[in-house]
Amino acid sequence: MKKAIVNLCRLLLAAVFILSGFVKAVDPLGTLYKMQDYLLAMDLGGWLPDLALLAFAVGLSALEFCLGIFMLFAIRRRLTSRTMVIVLAIMTSLTLWLALTDPISDCGCFGDALVLTNWQTFWKNIILLTAALVVAKWPFGMIRFISKSNQWIVINYSLLFILIISGWSLYDRPQFDFRPYHEGTDLREGWNLMMEGNESPYADFFIEKADDGEDITEQVLNNEGYTFLLIAPWLEKADDSQLDLINQVYEYAEDNDYLFYCLTASGESGISLWRDITGADYPFCQTDGTVLKTMIRSNPGLLLLKDGKVIRKWSHNRLPDEYDLARPLEELELGQAAGNTMGRHIAEVMLWFVLPLLLLSITDRLWMWSKWIRKRKNSNSINKKEVKMRKKIVAGNWKMNMNLQDGIALAKELNETLKAEKPNCGVVICTPFIHLASIAQFLDQDIIGLGAENCADKEKGAFTGEVSAEMVKSTGAQYVILGHSERREYYKETPEILKEKVLLAQKNDLKVIFCIGESLEEREAGKQNEVVKAELEGSVFNLSEEDFRKIVIAYEPIWAIGTGKTATAEQAEEIHAYIRSIIAEKYGQAVADDTTILYGGSCKASNAPELFAKPDIDGGLIGGASLKAADFKGIIDAFK
């Protein structure tokens, strides 16, 4: 039930973020205008230049879209879910302010595709934030739709796709136009409804001649022929790179008796400046600036009306040229209504984005399924005698705990308990140096092996306070722990130091329990595989096959040591299998199958059976739970 709830929340979040990011990406200028509204409401108008706001708008759309895709495919599950919580916490706070103060009519979270009231947006964000907290609590409950090895393809392809969408929409115009002036809109019908007192998005639409203030709105909308409208919200900021084409379109309109007006919100000075720059002879009309920005996301842009309907729209980068306008509009395709292009644009998105990812997911799942089949077939073919050769071990690491008397008492209790009830696995206790010689005198090492927690990287000499491998062996110990994360972190033990320790331990016939594992930061960055591989390569992969067979590997995720956190059985098995695979690459499958790999990291009696049941987990290196005989035996009994 928990996994089902997590995945339902995950799909809800994915759908909303993908939709929100996509509709912003197809209309980055619309997002820019909404951000300007926010800044004005906060009395910060003009605080940031438009170019910076536009870059932020594109970045925000890419972030939302990619987070939705990553959530859908369960990519970087922990990082993605936590990032969503942060984003939604910010958005929820912002929309609460909007709902309480109502400085703007809507938040613009879905652009013009879906307009919500400020209170509707707030409650929507509350639901999404709750869902995000559920997913962040149990991120590994999300089922993967694609393997980790292929996630980079989805990450890069999604980011590239959404940035291309934004870039093309800026260069041309939004491919999905949800505004009330899209191609096919009957402006005359909408205007008439508004004039009759009905609610209409055209309430602020008007056209007044700039020279005498005459209202020609009805004249333009009632014209049964063609009308070109050059839309330039602010002539002072208009792009003047296509002046020749604009003038050619005006001359074409004059030659064919088509109406041509430039609609702008600029005043007389702006119009005069534009005339001086362009030599424009066409008439100028005044219209509301917000309406003009809504009509077309281009400054300038061009609309073509026929019989009061919008039949074509062009950005200043895509204006028709002399070849497009070789004959009267009545004889040209662009003089006819464009029809509903929504289906074509949806098909393009499906072809260029959805279909490739769908094919990748299907291929990936088939590949993983075939890999599982091969692995199962190979595991079934392994000789049972060879499987039994891999020793199962539960080892206790006492760390810096217990004085000599308490340590002896614990060792005696364990010795008596396990002699009375033989364990089904190898048992080792690794104690501080002061305990070794005393415990070795009474410990039955046929039942419980004795080990040290460390040894020096020097053979002998003037190294005050150090204990050599030879000294450890002389106490009667059989094992030594090397490479523990606490030694690496607190005492700065490098791969070279550990390499020397391993060589000296083996020279003195000590069995090495070699520890590897990643930090929380490395796990969240998805680097756990390369970290454990580097630790093996740095300190033990220099050994001969014969010497490597004497090594016991202990995988300990640093983020789970002493924290109470435990890797799930699936997580632990996944990386144990990876460790065995890189051992196979180095020494061959036979050596990998014989190598004992232990799990450490808040392992206790309650979770040990599930962990030890995994095929690549051969026991545990136990910390705090090894300090009480009953707790330690509870873990040992997991092998029953």
Q: What CATH number does the domain containing 227 carry?
A: 3.40.30.10
Cβ within 8 Å of residue 397, ≥6 positions away: 430, 453, 481, 484, 600, 621, 622, 623, 626
Domain boundary (279, 311, 338) is at 338
85-94, 144-153, 370-379, range with greatest mean pLDDT: 85-94
Tokens 């022929």 belong to 225
Amino acid type, 253: A
> What average pLDDT score do residues 87-113 get?
89
Whether residue 179 lies inside any domain: the answer is no
* Domain identity same for 475 and 511: yes
What percent of the chain clears pLDDT 90, i.e. is strictly above it? Answer: 70
Confidence of residue 389 (pLDDT cuts 50, 70, 90): low
pLDDT tens for 234-267 read 999 999 888 999 999 999 999 999 999 999 999 9
Mean pLDDT of 216-241: 93
Structure tokens that stand for 91 in this block: 């958005």
Q: What is the domain extent for residue 49?
A: 2-171
Q: Which of 104-113, 162-171, 238-247 has the lowest mean pLDDT?
A: 104-113
Closest Cα partner for 295 from 272, 315, 277?
315
Predicted pLDDT of residue 177: 86
Report whether pLDDT(383) > 60: no
Q: Which of 344-358, 419-433, 488-502, 582-596 has the lowest mean pLDDT?
A: 344-358
Nearest residue to 435 (alpha-carbon basis) of 402, 467, 457: 402
Same domain, yes or no: 138 and 251: no
Name the least confident of 182-186, 283-287, 370-374.
370-374
Residue 542 annotated as lining a ligand binding site: no
Confidence class of residue 367 from pLDDT cuts 50, 70 and 90?
A: confident
Residue with tokens 């930090």: 519
What does the pLDDT read at residue 380?
Answer: 56
Is 560 a residue whose pLDDT tops 50? yes
Helix 404-420 crosses helix 629-636 at what angle (to 10 degrees)? 40
Query: Based on the domain organization, do 582 and 478 belong to the same domain?
Result: yes
pLDDT of residue 393: 96
- Residue 369 annotated as lining a ligand binding site: no
* 152 assigned ligand-binding residue: no
Residue 314 annotated in ligand binding: no
Is 315 labelled as part of a ligand binding site?
Answer: no
Residues 150 and 197 placed together within one structural domain of the fold: no
**Which residues, listed in sequence order, are joined to residue 449 by a DSSP beta bridge?**
428
Closest Cα partner for 392 from 618, 101, 109?
618
CB atoms within 10 A of CB 297: 24
Within a domain: residue 182?
no
User: Taking a C-beta distance cutoff of 8 angstroms, is the pair 118, 27 a contact?
Assistant: no
Please check the confidence at residue 308 and state whether its pLDDT lies above 50. Answer: yes
Question: Does position 401 have pLDDT exceeding 80, yes or no?
Answer: yes
Q: What mean pLDDT comes out for the span 371-376?
A: 71
138 and 269 share one domain: no
**612 and 478, same structural domain?**
yes
Within a domain: 640: no
Q: Is the predicted pLDDT of residue 381 greater than 60, yes or no?
A: no
State yes or no: 399 annotated in a binding site.
yes
**What's the DSSP call for residue 236?**
G
| 270/131 Cα distance (integer angstroms) | 51
CB 282 within 8 A of CB 230: yes
Pair (137, 207) in one structural domain: no
* Pair type for strands 426-431 and 448-452: parallel
Beta bridge partners of residue 18, listed in sequence order:
none
DSSP code string of 143-202: PPSS-GGGHHHHHHHHHHHHHHHHHHHHHS--SS--STTSTT-BHHHHHHHHHTT---TT
More confident residue, 221 or 148: 221
Instruction: Judge whether 118 is annotated as a binding position.
Output: no
- pLDDT recorded at residue 566: 66
In a domain, 165, yes or no: yes
Residues 105 and 192 in one domain: no
Interval 331-337 mean pLDDT: 90
Confidence of residue 375 (pLDDT cuts 50, 70, 90): low
- Kindly report the average pLDDT of the chain as a whole number: 91
Judge whether 351 lies within some domain. Answer: no
User: Token pair for residue 547?
Assistant: 């010497």
Q: Which range has the top average pLDDT, 146-160, 185-199, 429-443, 557-571?
A: 429-443
Report the pLDDT value the prediction gives residue 93, as an integer from 0 to 100.
Answer: 94
Local confidence band at 230 (pLDDT 50, 70, 90 cut-offs): very high
Q: In the chain, pLDDT over 70 holds for what percent of residues?
A: 97
The answer to whether residue 639 is domain-embedded is: no
Residue 449 has pLDDT above 70, yes or no: yes
End residue of a domain, out of 147, 171, 195: 171
pLDDT for the residue 384: 42
Tell whether 41 and 160 lie within a shared domain: yes
Q: How far apart are CA 193 and CA 167, in angstroms?
A: 37
Is 36 within a domain?
yes
65 shares a domain with 146: yes
Asked whether the predicted pLDDT for residue 387 surpasses 90, the reply is no
Mean per-residue pLDDT for 429-458?
A: 96
Specify whether 419 is located in the same domain as 567. Answer: yes
Question: pTM here?
Answer: 0.60
Mean pLDDT value of segment 448-452: 97
Q: For the chain, what is the domain count?
A: 3
Residue 350 has pLDDT above 90, yes or no: no
N-term to C-term CA, the chain: 29
DSSP 215: B
Q: How far apart are CA 552 and CA 395, in angstroms?
A: 11
- What CATH number does the domain containing 583 carry? 3.20.20.70
Residues 395 and 537 in one domain: yes
Q: Does residue 274 lie within any of the structural domains?
A: yes
Q: What is the pLDDT of residue 613?
A: 92
φ, ψ for residue 95, nearest 5 deg: -75, -25
Largest CA distance in the chain: 113
- Specify the pLDDT at position 178: 86
**Residue range 21-56, pLDDT digits in tens:** 999 999 999 998 888 888 888 888 778 888 999 999
Active-site residues, by number, are: 484, 556
Q: Amino acid letter at 285? A: C
What 8-state DSSP symbol labels residue 616? Answer: T
